[in-house]
Structure 1
Amino acid sequence: MTEKNQAKWDAGRFFKTLSYFGIIPFLGNIRWLQKLLTGGKNTVSTPETPGVILVAGATGGVGKRVVRKLQQRGYQVRSLVRDARRGREILGDRVDLVEADITLPETLSDRLLKDVKAVISCIGTRVQPVEGDTPTREKYYQGIKFYLPEVVDTPEMVEYHGIQNLLDATRSQLSRFGNPDEKIIFDFRKPTQDLKETWGALDDIVMGGASESTVRLVDETAFFSGYVSTANSGGFASVRTRNFEPPLDLSDYEGIDLRVKGDGKRYKFILRTDPKWDSVSYCYSFDTVPNIWFTVRIPFSEFIPVFRAKTLQDAGPLDSSQIRSVQIMLSKFEYDGELNQNFKPGVFQLQIESMKAYGGQKLPRFVHVSSAGVTRPGRPGLNLEEEPPAVRMNDQLGGILTWKLRGEEAIRSSGIPYTIVRPCALTEEPGTQRLTFERGDTIKGKVNREDIAELCVQALDIPAACNVTFEVKEGDSGHPPGDWTGLFSDLQRDRELVS
């Protein structure tokens, strides 16, 4: 039985489609009509991966600077503090504070861990001069003069067990958030109002056809379904996003993973880099298996440039840094007049669980501030007289460096992508100094807390910072301020994690 060649054209649905996207095909923008009919908008914000940066030890000399720098960059920040009242005094009223103690795992609550995508750990055993008035303490903390120190906490509990507790608490949350080498574009398992306002049906009604589709958020999926008809020379149904503003930049990735369950039909996945309505599209066709979930992996290199179902030989490759919109289509045509061999008019349905970019470089998820000198206590041939006070007095300070090293080892064996920073003597001097990174735990010197805080924040977005442990000091022979890529490019990844 063949479908009728003619059907009544639905003018109301035609204008409803135009009003949603704010464009008339081939004639240009009619934003005024879109506003008149719906009061809405014809662009949407670029999909962003949500998430919170958890700062542990947020009231310390480095931690409070990390919080401030993250806020200045627009990150969502949560501060883990042992004393909420003191935390408010130091960090202010605009900071999301959670009172907890890493030495007591039962205090690391769901409220603390909710939506955490990365951790910056600035925790450390509290060390102070044995005695002295306020000026003495200020000189001590500024690194101006050495005074006999004492530990306030138990280093084993803070530097080792505390770090282990923090790793155990955050590991599953960081895993749920997604692999660090992937970027979630749409996750329909977590529906939001923004998702509902981003996608709309775009069927052959705009060409005079009679197909009709919808997209609904049901059962933790985007449910694309409807009826595709060849009447009136039509034959396609699709869903498309409004244009992203700014465009979606996926240039650090290799392609798209699409998690779907279909009906045995052949669909097209379409990306556009031009904000115009009727522009060149980049297409990839994929077949589905009835009622079976599977992942369609689409390398960017396999997208075909197409204009109105005709391939373009002289068009450039897809520019993955300028993704303006996404579309999924069921069409009777393949390309250049060829028919879709798996096409049949009638009812169809495709469920989409998620859409993400794959193949990106891993980024650190756990940035930890440790200390230079952690491997030196007990090292054969070491001249203690030439070593910093923390090395000389390791035993008197409860084995503080020994336990810091144990905490580092817990991080390196956790499976969480990490950066471990070992600063030399910390000072309150001005930031933006020349810095030197080294491995092997042999360098001595000083570095200001401002630069260490900036280093922690920068490491979150630098692939070369992933799975490295290094010492850092300031000095005239170091890299110029701001050359973070150059600093990290000189480092090798920790040996035990190199495949």
Structure 2
Amino acid sequence: MATDNQKATWDGGRFLKTLGYFGVIPFVGSFRWIQKLFGGDAPKPGQPAEVVLVAGATGGVGKRVVRRLQQKGVKVRALVRDARRARQILGQTVDVVEADITIPETLTPQVMQDVAAVICCTGTRVQPVEGDTPTREKYYQGIKFYLPEVVDTPEYVEYNGIKNLLDAAPNYLRNSGQKVLFDFTKPSTELKETWGALDDVVMGGTSESSLRLIGDAALFAGTVSTANSGGFVSVRTRNFEPALDLSEFEGIELRVKGDGKRYKLIVRNDEKWDSIAYCYSFDTIYNIPITVRIPFDRLIPVFRAQTLKDNPPFDARQVYAFQVMLSKFEYDGELNPKFEAGNFQLQIESIKAYGSAVKPRFVMVSSAGVTRPGKPGLNLEEEPPAVRMNDQLGGILTWKLRGEDAVRSSGIPYTIIRPCALTEEAGGEPLMLDQGDTIKGKVSREDISELCIRALNDPEAAHVTVEVKEAESGDRIDGDTSLFSAVKSDRDRQAIGV
């Protein structure tokens, strides 16, 4: 192996390839504008794809949830039983997957790919016995009561189906305080186009590395040499456009399996190529998977491996690039104590942001009244038809409550919304949120759909079961305040429904 004072053949072709991949000239700047001029602009990585899965997407609430998510620019996937009918209702721009929550085999990994949250609007189909159009319109508007009948089997839809959906949900939904930035266990073209090798060839060295997707991880491997005064290898992302905003998190988490060497994570706040970077060194254990947590306040500001004592701290509001490096040097001329020239390898399973407040990742639309059938002292004459006719309807409310219990015990942060009688009205009225399952009234499907979406981004909605109805006064769905601020977490209540 050549030493620092020895000369080795420099690979100019690889040097040019590196420049072309990142669109830069080291120490000078970007020539991306030249690429654009000749139509050769490279792909621009952005926020990792996150999908909200809407189950029951063609129902009265579900189709509104889909529409509102699209209007907000959220990537949405509609889980439906009939894709052809769904496209007629939802349009051609919606990502539609055909599956049946009562048949677990249909809830494939493709259905759940990149799903960051689930809004479950499924329900047993109930319709008036009289099936003419005027009757159905009055029935669904809540204008008049007509004798209902169930079309599906409530046990299968309200309980077994919910359990199947929870079982199929990605495991990381149980860690809603995290954001998956790169999941290398799921190889994709986007990952290949985002990460590229950046070795000491840009400074005349001969080290060489690559990042290969090997199915269950990304393999960062190659040979590091100190010839020609070199001594580092790395892989770096192209700049994110727009920059990532990680300000709600506390730090970065790596899941890696290494070779016993010391590596660096480098994060950049600046879109310039040769800019100030923020670094953290971490040791690996030979052939043993480890989790490395790096708080943002432990990142060291450096410029070309020289620490900057007076530089501002890392700004998580704008992250332009990540880099993983094996280098001969630590900081300020000190040597990496675990560096060895020669072959190396580091498997990277994932890169995540961690430390955010827990937010709901599973929102379930249930029903007010689920705890009332069979409740001692209940005056059935004053109860809604669904409570009075629970037995005739196949125990629909009883099975909804069982489905709720499955959600509450799943380990996934959740919000369970129990609307009173649903109507087709325009919405926008003040809402009352209550707990204890005693209120009666009505509420529009429009307002319930927006409440489902609002819950996803509200930490105060986590682990909450709540009933909802229109009120004469109170907060409206389009207000700035959290509608969940006055309710209690289920964990703080002695029992559900009391």
Q: Is TM > 0.5 for Structure 1 vs Structure 2?
A: yes
Residues of 2 paired with 1:237 and 1:101: CA distance?
Answer: 48
Cα-to-partner distance string for 1:306-334 (whole Å, 9 max, x where unaligned): 11212122222211221100111112221
Write the deviation string for residues 244-269 of structure 1: whole angstroms up to 9, x where unpaired.
11112222222222122222221111
CA contact (8 A) 2:435 2:466 kept: yes
Distance (Å, rounded) in 1 between the aligned partners of 2:420 and 2:64: 18
1:249 and 2:248 aligned: no
> Counterpart of 2:164?
169
**Does 1:143 pair with 2:142?**
yes
Query: What's 1:80 paired with?
Result: 80
Distance 1:210 1:300 in 2: 33
Distance in structure 2 (CA, Å) of the matches to 1:17 and 1:328? 16
Query: Partner letter of residue 483 of structure 2?
Result: L
CA distance in 2, matches of 1:168, 1:428: 29
| Pairwise CA distance, 1:423 | 0.9
1:14 aligns with 2:15: yes
User: So what's the TM-score if we normalise by structure 2?
Assistant: 0.88
Q: Output the CA distance in 2 between the equivalents of 1:35 and 1:495.
A: 55
Residues 112 and 392 (structure 1), Cα distance of their counterparts in 2 relative to 1, 3 Å cut: farther
1:23 counterpart letter in structure 2: V
Query: 1:273, CA displacement in angstroms?
Result: 0.9
1:117 to partner: Cα distance = 4.7
Deviation string 1:76-128 (CA, Å, 9 cap, x unpaired) is 312323x56654553445555556655x5367453884425543222333444
Give the alignment partner of residue 364 of structure 1, picking from 360, 363, 367. 360
Quickly say closer, same or farther: Cα 1:403–1:244, change in 2 above 3 A: same
- Give the whole-Å Cα distance in 2 for the aligned partners of 1:51 and 1:181: 17
User: Which residue does the alignment assign to 1:3?
Assistant: 3
Query: Quick check: 2:259–2:287 contact (8 Å CA) kept in 1?
Result: yes
* Contact 1:69-1:454 at 8 Å conserved across structures: yes
SS of alignment partner, residue 329 of structure 2: coil
Task: Name the amino acid aligned to 2:222.
Answer: G
Deviation of residue 418 (structure 1)?
2.2
CA drift of 1:396 comes to 5.0
User: 327, 333, 345: which is aligned to 2:329?
Assistant: 333
Q: Which position in structure 2 is the counterpart of 1:119?
A: 118
The corresponding residue for 1:239 is: 235
2:414 and 2:462 in contact (8 A); partners too: yes
Q: Structure 1 pair 487/313, CA: closer, same or farther in 2 (3 Å)? A: same
Q: CA deviation at 1:471?
A: 0.8
**Shift of residue 26, structure 1, vs aligned partner:** 2.5
1:20-419 alignment runs, 5 A limit: 20-32=21-33, 39-41=40-42, 44-51=44-51, 53-56=53-56, 58-72=57-71, 73-81=73-81, 86-95=85-94, 97=96, 102=101, 104-105=102-103, 108-110=106-108, 113-115=111-113, 116-131=115-130, 133-144=132-143, 146-153=144-151, 157-158=153-154, 160-176=155-171, 179-218=175-214, 220-395=216-391, 397-419=393-415
Contact conserved, 1:143 with 1:425, CA < 8 A, in 2? yes
The letter of the residue matching 2:271 is P
Letter in 1 for 2:147: P
Note the alpha carbon deviations across 1:115-145, whole angstroms, 9 max, x for none: 255432223334444448533432232122x
SS in structure 2 at match of 1:44: coil
Q: TM-score, normalised by structure 1?
A: 0.88
Deviations 1:198-242 (A, max 9, x none): 112222232333333222233543222233233333322211111
In structure 1, how many angstroms separate the alpha carbons of the residues matched to 2:464 and 2:213? 42
Return 5+ residue gaps in structure 1 as ranges: none
Secondary structure, aligned partner of 2:325: strand
For structure 2, which runs of at least 5 residues remain unmatched after alignment?
none
CA distance in 1, matches of 2:96, 2:233: 49
- Which residue of the partner structure matches residue 474 of structure 2? 478
Amino acid at match of 1:281: A
Aligned match of 1:450 in 439, 446, 450? 446
3-state SS of 1:45 partner: coil
Contact kept, 8 Å, 2:158 with 2:399, in 1: the verdict is no
| Offset, 1:40 | 4.1
Q: Deviations over 1:448-491 (max 9, x none)?
A: 11111111223233332222110111224211332375112222
User: For residues 404 and 71 of structure 1, what CA distance do their matches in structure 2 show?
Assistant: 28
The alignment partner of 2:482 has SS state of helix
CA offset at residue 62 of structure 1? 1.6
Indicate conservation of the 8 Å contact 1:71/1:77, yes or no. no
Residues 172, 136 of structure 1: alpha-carbon distance in 2 compared, 3 angstrom cutoff: closer
1:421: Cα distance to partner?
Answer: 0.7
Could you tell me how far 1:497 is from its partner in structure 2?
Answer: 8.8
Percent of matched pairs sharing the same residue: 62
- Supply the RMSD in Å over aligned alpha carbons: 3.0
How has the CA–CA distance of structure 1 residues 213 and 36 changed in structure 2, closer, same or farther, with 3 Å as cutoff? Answer: farther
Q: Determine the C-alpha separation between the residues in 2 that align with 1:223 and 1:123.
A: 41
Amino acid at match of 2:248: D
Using the TM superposition, name which of 322-331 and 124-133 deviates more. 124-133
> Cα offset for 1:436?
2.1
Superposition pairs for residues 480-499 of structure 1, below 5 Å? Answer: 480-483=476-479, 486-495=482-491
What one-letter code is carried by the residue in structure 2 that aligns with 1:31?
Answer: R
Taking the aligned partners of 2:108 and 2:390, their CA distance within structure 1 comes to: 36
C-alpha separation between the residues in 2 aligned to 1:124 and 1:295?
40
Write the letter of the residue equivalent to 2:211. Answer: V
Aligned length: 490
CA distance in 2, matches of 1:337, 1:344: 17
SS in 2 for 1:295: strand
Greater alpha carbon shift after TM alignment, 179-188 vs 8-17:
8-17
Q: 2:451–2:477: 8 Å Cα contact kept in structure 1?
A: no
Relative to structure 1, is the Cα distance of residues 302 and 84 closer, same or farther in structure 2, using a 3 angstrom cutoff? Answer: closer
